Structure 1
Amino acid sequence: MVRKFEMAGAVVTNDVDTEQTLTCLHLKMYHPLLQHDPRIFSAIHLGRKEELRAEDPAIFGRDVCKFKLLNTKVSRLQFEFNFFKPLHSSKMAFEIKNLSKRAKLYVDGLELSYLNKVDLPPKFMIRFGDFQILAETEEGESEEKYNICCEVSRYSLVQDVSAPMVGISETGVLNSPTSLHSTICCNSPPPVEVDENDF
């Protein structure tokens, strides 16, 4: 915002930054081996908001990404959050995309295969392998930046899931949730992860 003041016939311009709040995606993460291997989440700055530009995805994986999960079952690139503004909406939102060719990603009971993505509700559960992530969006005003804030839970986060969501692949084809049961994310077996980049 630029404000102009007239002082003794001269015009003085004063630049004033208007502070906008940032949308924040809060992630509570759990893995059953955490008690035996505390390094799993050690590469992530826990309890601190990480600021990202709106056009930059928040990528989670084992390697070459900002949010590293130190476990051999995690793909080098596992999944990403994208920050966007839905059509005909004034509020910012997130979508999630599965980046792993080998591991299924479950979001509130919906199975996402490689490159499938889905728009996210304000609160949701993510599962892949033995990992559980409970996520909740805190609304903000800025369209330029957003925050990711991670913390670790010492207890399982599994809960009953609501109605299945509808996933959209990169080709725009809908993944029908009709064959999914509401507990699929809780009962799905952990995938045997073979890193697609290690061949």
Structure 2
Amino acid sequence: MMNVSQMIETEEDLLTCLHIKLYHPQQSCKGLYGLIPLGTRSRHSAEDSVRLGREAQACTVALVDTRVSRKQLALQAYRTPNSPDMLFSIQNLSKRGRLSVNSSALDYLERMDLPDKALIRFGEYEMLIIRESGEAKGSFEVEYEVLTMPPSRETGMCVPSMTPVMDTGSCVMNSFQELRIIGPLETDETVICGSGC
């Protein structure tokens, strides 16, 4: 029989870390992130999901925004046979809106595996989630940061759900059924977006 000290992870175990970088176009004039522990790593049990939404009692992390669902999304850790890596899935918990993960839209309760680097979009929010591998099996860390620019523009990631309309300079969000004016579209030689985006 194992004693308790053998079952607890040691401080030397390198924990997997999810770096979650947040952006909202009006974040400077609102206290949207007032309930989020910015700039520090928080430790979570791998058995429990990390929930993000506006209701602080139901979510691990709360956004101070009435346009965000009570429960917006959940990140759940998991492992696969024959692999030491801790991986994550993402699930849309919002009945009101879709959640976009890179090129895929998720409706209510739909879930998918989270890639090592993912651009998450819901409402006007953009989140860049980057997984840093670790060795520990029972827990992981999450570190939150606020970005000054949208991660879709900062990282040069292609946002495939957007269809450019060249003559008007506008952009239609197919999966979200909304129109956004973004100004004239220009080609940037440093960003290559193929048909697979």
Residue by residue over 1:98-140, the C-alpha shift from the partner in whole angstroms, topping out at 9 and shown as x without a partner, is: 0011110000020000011111111110000000001101100
On the 8 A contact 1:81/1:96 being kept in 2, the answer is yes
Q: Distance in 2 between matches of 1:113 and 1:88?
A: 31
Counterpart in the other structure of 1:130? 124
- Residue 118 (structure 1) aligned with residue 96 (structure 2): no
Q: Distance in 2 between matches of 1:25 and 1:87?
A: 21
Alignment partner of 1:55 out of 27, 44, 47:
47
Tell me the secondary structure at the aligned position of residue 41 of structure 1. Answer: coil
TM-score, normalization: structure 2? 0.73
- Residue 182 (structure 1) aligned with residue 160 (structure 2): yes
Alignment partner of 2:23 out of 14, 19, 30:
30
Q: 1:88: how far off?
A: 3.3
Whichever residue aligns with residue 59 of structure 1, its letter is R
Counterpart mapping for 1:1-199 below 5 A: 17=10, 19-37=12-30, 39-63=31-55, 64-159=58-153, 161=157, 182-184=160-162, 188=173, 189=176
CA RMSD in angstroms, aligned pairs only? 2.4
Matched residues, number:
158
**Rg: which structure is higher?**
1
Q: Distance in 2 between matches of 1:116 and 1:77?
A: 14
Whichever residue aligns with residue 54 of structure 1, its letter is A
On the 8 A contact 1:161/1:182 being kept in 2, the answer is no
Tell me the secondary structure at the aligned position of residue 152 of structure 2. Answer: coil
Q: 1:161: how far off?
A: 4.3
On the 8 A contact 2:84/2:135 being kept in 1, the answer is no
Q: 1:90: how far off?
A: 2.1
Whichever residue aligns with residue 27 of structure 2, its letter is L
Residue by residue over 1:139-184, the C-alpha shift from the partner in whole angstroms, topping out at 9 and shown as x without a partner, is: 000010001110001212224546xxxxxxxxxxxxxxxxxx8244
Q: 1:54: how far off?
A: 0.7
Unaligned runs of 5+ in 2: 3-9, 164-170, 179-197
